[in-house]
Every structure is written in structure tokens, then in C-alpha cells.
Structure 1
Amino acid sequence: MDLFDDLPEPTQSACGASVQKSCPLPLEDRGAKRKRETPDYDLVEEQKLEEKKVCKGSPTLKGYVAARRGEREEMQDAHILLPDMNTCLTSLPLTVSHLAFFAVFDGHGGARASRFAAEHLHRTLALKFPKVETENLDKLVKKCLLDTFRQTDEDFLKKASSQKPAWKDGSTATCMLVVDDMVYVANLGDSRAVLCRMEEEGQGGGKKCLTLALSKEHNPTIYEERMRIQRAGGTVRDGRVLGVLEVSRSIGDGQYKRIGVISTPDIRRCQLTPNDRFIILACDGLFKVFSAEEAVKYVVNILQDGSIERKNGQTEEEGLYEAACQRLANEAVRRGCADNVTVILVSVSF
């Protein structure tokens, strides 16, 4: 199966934990840049690219998060919200005007792998993101995500192995990078990302809610995952690697890396349209008690409720999304999920 399978093309074209809103510049990118003399024809081309950036329709994204410990002794989830990732980079290709990044990490065996990924993965991504103009931006963004996951995993395993005793933590990862109006979702494990898209329903003029999966689950019961583990000398018992590990791809889990557990993410791409309302990123704690369609419909129903009380300074829309995110996490706990539950709700507007 092609790692880079894209989602269907859009049907309509378009002309709790702390929330981190910015990040310092990577050390490697700090310092003065040498000014170069630019010929007149280069200036003309740069002006054309700048005009293209202005005309390109970039959505406005706002992130909301709810985290619940459930019945676990420790909160092992971590997350990050960067609606403006431009602050992490010193330069961007001229055709790119805006970056955003949202991610949820579901730890197991401890919270160190998930917290490490939440702190470091986006910084590594900023270092590796293309900085010059290129015709192959899509290909380079995907390569950048693959390299970022590999580097984050290697960096954590190096730190984990240096401890005494060595850390055995691991973490899933579901990361959403938005480049202008293009969404790239890279994921490991069983945390998931789903998109709510509204579509016309017949000739009546009404709209129906369509749920699109933006991620792919990785567990050892899936044929391709099980075969890789068995070829590497591992076994799958009771749906788990060696009867213990519930996922087949992760960051960390050093003791399982030699038997086929990998940190290579699946990557899916989707262009946002004015019909898109929101994206849910959540750990499996939510999806143990909600199907993707149920979670999306639950949020839609709350967004249609105009009686929500909002915090000071919030708009009505912000209050609705905040309430929907918090209530979705609460409902997962109420339905009996004993696991940690972390939900990120990202509103989309053009």
C-alpha cells in the first residue's frame, strides 16, 4: 500500500494541559542572514509569488483542548497547539504564507515519551521544513514529516537508554501540519484524526455531515503490521506485540524496536474547503467509547445549540467550540472510559 495515499479531492474548490502558542527559534537558525543583491528580474518573480500568497485562501484555525485523567493513576497524554507555527521558523518558501501544527500523544509505560514528543517534535519539524522555493513542496513536506518522526524517535531512545534504569516509555503520535489550505496528518499507533465536512443533501438545500478519516490505525492485529513483526522475530499474542504492547508503531518502546515496532508514520493529505467545519484529534480513550461518526455528530449538535455560556472575551463561536470540546471529553468518561482522554478540536473557517 502506498504510504502517501491521498484522500479524495474536495468536492468544492476554494479561490487542560498548557497550550503553547509560539516557540523560540531553533539555535541552528539564529543569527544574522547575509543580504544578497537581487537582480530586477528576481524582484519581479518575488513580487508575483507574494501576490500568489495573498490571493491563496488560507483558513483560520483555532484549537481547543480537553484532557481527562480518567481512572488512571497518572496522566500519560500530552499535546501541543500551534495555530501559528510561523514563529518557529526563520524563513519559509515564498509560496507558503502560513503554517499551523496540532498534535496529541498518548503515552504508555509512563509519560516521558509523550512529553518528550510534545516538546521536541515540532522543533525538529521546524528545522527540517523546506526553506527555499521548490516545485516539489508536497514531496518535501512528506519527507520532512518522515525525517522528523525518525529523528524524534532516535533522540528519545538515545536519552532513554542513557538512564539507569533505562526508560521503557512509548507513545502514539497523531500530528496535523497545515500548510496554507493543505492538511498533512502523520500518525503512529491508535490515536486518530477525523474531519467534519458539510455537503449538500439532495435538492432540498440542506446539508449533511460527512466524516473523513485523516489517519490510519496501527495495531498488531492488522495483517501488514503483524507480518512485519513476525518477520523481525516478534510474535503477536492476544492482539498485542509479545502479548504486551497494544500498538505496532510508536515513539520510544526501545525494547520492541528490534522486533518490528517502527516509528515510520502513515501520512495523509487533504485540502481544506469552505465546507469544512472542524477536525478532531484524540487519543484512543475517546474512540474506545465513540465511533468517529458519533464524535463528529456529538460536536455538531453542540455547535447548533445557541444557549452555551461563554467565558469573558470569547465570541459566541469560540464559546461553542470550547464547550463542544470539553463536553466530548466529559462524555467519554461518563460512558465508562477508564483510560486517559485527550481531545483537540480545531475549528476551520475561511
Structure 2
Amino acid sequence: MDLFDDLPEPKQTPVPVSAQLKSTREEEEEEEEEEKEEIKKVCREGLPVLRGYVAARRGEREEMQDDHVMLPDMSSCMSALPCQVSRVSYFAVFDGHGGARASRFAAEHLHHNLAKKFPSGETENLDKLVKKCLLDTFRQTDEDFLRKASSQKPVWKDGSTATCVLVVDDMVYVANLGDSRAVLCRMEAAAGGGGGGGGGGGVGGQRKVVTLALSKEHNPTIYEERMRIQRAGGTVRDGRVLGVLEVSRSIGDGQYKRCGVISTPDLRRCQLTANDRFIILACDGLFKVFSADEAVKFVLNVLQEGSVEKRSGVTEEEVRFEAACQQLASEAVRRGCADNVTVILVSIGF
């Protein structure tokens, strides 16, 4: 008699316990990933919609020394995002001096350095990590350019300002060196007025235009900047470092680094709201002939003009923003700015 006659025949090959455990783990991991994606999807639906427009004018200069980058979605440059982040956007302007090599180098490399250093996975205190990432990115980009510049014969003496707007979901981080600037247009309810349309649609008597500075200028006439330059053994004459360089912080400018010119950016942070309309990011060519308030009001006036030319596949709002960006740059030249003018206009919609 076969002792095992009463045992049912196995219907399939038994799965080892270790494989069963592995399968269960995989299922749990897949569920977790689906849950995270679902959370990100929910987050993404409430994020501001950002669109970038750019206009560049050479002015009376022989060479265009400005450069710019617009990446409404930076995820293609990044290996992974932090778990709680759905989207990272990047917009930047670089105003070169002494040549176009420093501005071009920064435009080509800074966002790639940023992508490599950006936090990923499970993170605590994301704000602190993003700020450290920006500081490290600027230092690395400057060091890399100076290394390349010093290896040339003759040595490159180019330098560049840098103003970068990094938007992490709905949080804006601005890192800047030099005198290129970023400003935000926010529409607020006027005292005694109604709330106005959502997203800052109307101005009229109901809404008040508020211009928020998102960056800080660095030039040798500012007390703290001048003191640092003098402590390093440099001098400030006629508002310039050694009587030559107009900015006190920059990428490149190797010959001035020993005189207190640094590549450490100022960092500012601002959370976007449904009242925000747009960000203007521009080199000093624009701000030599426009105050920040004037530039914001100029853009608003173009956005509110009556009829616009309709174009296939482009919304009326996009046509208006494109026109506003182009007209702002052209008006700077018309007002007599002989410098290069580069303007990035970032529309904000909720």
C-alpha cells in the first residue's frame, strides 16, 4: 500500500516560500508606487501652469553676449524627483561681459549641474536641500568655467551675471548674481474693492497691481559688497571694481576673484498664488530704461489690449503673452538702451 495514495496530486509545481514572499513584496511595492503616483497626480492637478516666452535684442552692441534657458518641465534632465515633488521648472537669463563665453557656458551647464545635485527620494526639509543645491550648483559652474578659461591661450576673461528662477511645484526659488533681475506681478484686491476675477484677470478698480522683487542686485556701490571687495584687497572706483567691473558677483571674471568678486548667489523664495499673473526675468538692458513697476504695467497693458491676431493651435492668451514679451524688449531699445536686451516672460495660470 502506498502511504501517499490519500494525498491529492499537486495541480501545479509548488512555488518556493522565498518566491512567494518575493512576489508579495513586489505586489506591495507596486501598490506603493501606484499610490505615490496617484498622490502626485492629485498634487499636479493643483499646480500652476507655467509658460515661457523670450525676446532678445542685440541693441547697438557688436555681439550678443546674453544667453537664456527655458525649461517648463526639467524632469527630462533629472534621474529622479523627491517623492513629494511633481514638477520642477527652470528659467534663467545670463548677461555676459568681456565676451559671450561665460554666459554661454552657464546657459549650457548650470541646469545640468542643478539636475545632478537636486535632492531625490525620501527627503526631509526639502526647502533647505533645494537652497543648498542652488549654492553648490553656482559654485560648481563657476569653478568649471574658471578651470576652462584658465587653460586657454590667451586666458578667457569673460564673466556673466546669472538670474535663475526654479519653480518646485508651486514654490519659486530665485538665485541670482549681478544685476539681472526677476520680478513677480501679483494682483491683489484693492482696499474696499471686490475680489475680482480668479487668477487676477481684471485690473480695473477691483484689483491692485503689486510688483514683488524676487532678486537682489549686486554692484560695488552697495555698502556690504564694497566692504567685502575692500577687505579682499580690491578697490571701488567710479562705482566699479578696480574702476572696471560693474558687478560685484558673477560667474567667471577670474582676474577679479582675488578682489572679492564672488559667485555665491542671493537666494529668495516665494509661494505662487492664484493672484499671480507672470514673472519678468531680464538682464539690466531692460531695467536701464524701465523701472520694475513700469515693466509690469507695460506687460499688463499689452495683455489687456482689445483684439489679437488669432493663430492656429495657439490660445488667445498665449498670443497676448508672446506679444507682450516682444513689445517689452523692443520698447527698451526704442527708449535708447544700447545694451543687449533679453526678456523672459513666464505666464502663471491656475
The TM-score range, normalised by the shorter chain, is 0.7 to 0.9
2:42 equivalent in structure 1: 55
Query: Identity of aligned pairs, percent?
Result: 78
* Aligned-residue offset at 1:136: 1.3
Task: State the Cα distance separating 1:93 from its structure 2 match.
Answer: 1.2
Write the mapping of 1:219-298 to structure 2, written as runs, cut at 5 A: 219-298=219-298
Distance 1:303 1:98 in 2: 27
Does the 8 A contact of 1:46 with 1:94 survive in 2? no
What is the aligned length? 316
* Residue-by-residue CA offset, 1:299-333 (whole Å, 9 max, x unaligned): 00110113222444221000000000000000000
Matches for 1:1-350 after TM superposition, within 5 Å: 38=25, 49-56=36-43, 57-205=46-194, 206-350=206-350
Alignment partners' CA distance in 2, 1:199 and 1:36: 55
Mapped partners of 2:331, 2:148: distance in 1:
37
Partner of 1:21: none
Contact 1:50 1:94 in 2 (8 A): no
Aligned residue for 2:123, secondary structure, equals: coil
The alpha-carbon distance between structure 1 residues 187 and 37, as it changes in their structure 2 partners (threshold 3 A), is farther
Match of 1:23 in 2: none
Structure 1, 196-205 or 143-152: larger mean CA deviation: 196-205
Q: Which runs of 4+ in 1 moved over 3 A?
A: 35-52
What TM-score do you get using the length of structure 1 for normalisation? Answer: 0.87
Distance 1:259 1:42 in 2: 55
Q: Distance in 1 between matches of 2:24 and 2:127?
A: 29
Displacement after TM superposition at 1:53 (Å) = 2.4
Deviation, 1:47, is 5.4
Is the Cα contact below 8 Å between 1:50 and 1:95 reproduced in 2? no
Q: Secondary structure at the match of 1:90?
A: coil
Please give the per-residue CA displacement for 1:69-98, whole angstroms capped at 9, x wherever unaligned.
000010000001001111111211111110
What is the letter of the counterpart of residue 271 of structure 1? Q
Q: Which moved further from structure 2: 39-48 or 247-256?
A: 39-48
Using a 3 Å threshold, how does the CA distance of structure 1 residues 37 and 154 change in structure 2: closer, same or farther?
farther
TM-score (norm 2): 0.87
**Aligned-residue offset at 1:54:** 2.7
Q: Specify the SS of the correspondent of 1:324.
A: helix
From the CA coordinates, give the structure whose radius of gyration is larger. Answer: 2
How far is 1:52 from its partner?
Answer: 3.5
Distance 2:25 2:47 in 1: 29
Shift of 1:42: 6.4
Q: Which amino acid aligns with 1:299?
A: V
Q: Which blocks of at least 5 consecutive residues in structure 2 are unaligned?
A: 1-21, 195-205
Q: Could you say if the C-alpha distance between residues 322 and 127 of structure 1 is closer, same or farther in structure 2, counting changes exceeding 3 Å?
A: same
- Which residue in the other structure is 2:11 paired with? none
Distance 2:211 2:24 in 1: 50
TM-align CA RMSD? 1.8
Q: 8 Å contact 2:83–2:123 — kept in the other structure? A: no
* Counterpart-to-counterpart distance in 2, 1:127 and 1:43: 26
Q: Structure 1 residues 274 and 228 mapped into 2: Cα distance closer, same or farther (>3 Å)? A: same
Q: Which residue of 1 aligns with 2:8?
A: none
Which amino acid counterpart does residue 193 of structure 1 have in structure 2? A
Q: Deviation per CA, 1:219-276, whole angstroms, max 9, x where unpaired?
A: 0000110000000000000000000000000000000001100000001000001110
> Residue 133 of structure 1: CA displacement?
1.3
With 204-213 and 233-242 compared, the bigger mean Cα shift is at 204-213
* 3-state DSSP of counterpart to 1:183: strand
1:41 Cα deviation from its structure 2 partner: 7.0
Give secondary structure in 2 for the equivalent of 1:259.
coil
SS in 1 for 2:258: helix
> What's the secondary structure of 1:216's corresponding residue?
coil
Which amino acid in structure 2 is aligned with residue 53 of structure 1? K
Tell me whether 200-209 or 256-265 shows the greater mean CA deviation. 200-209
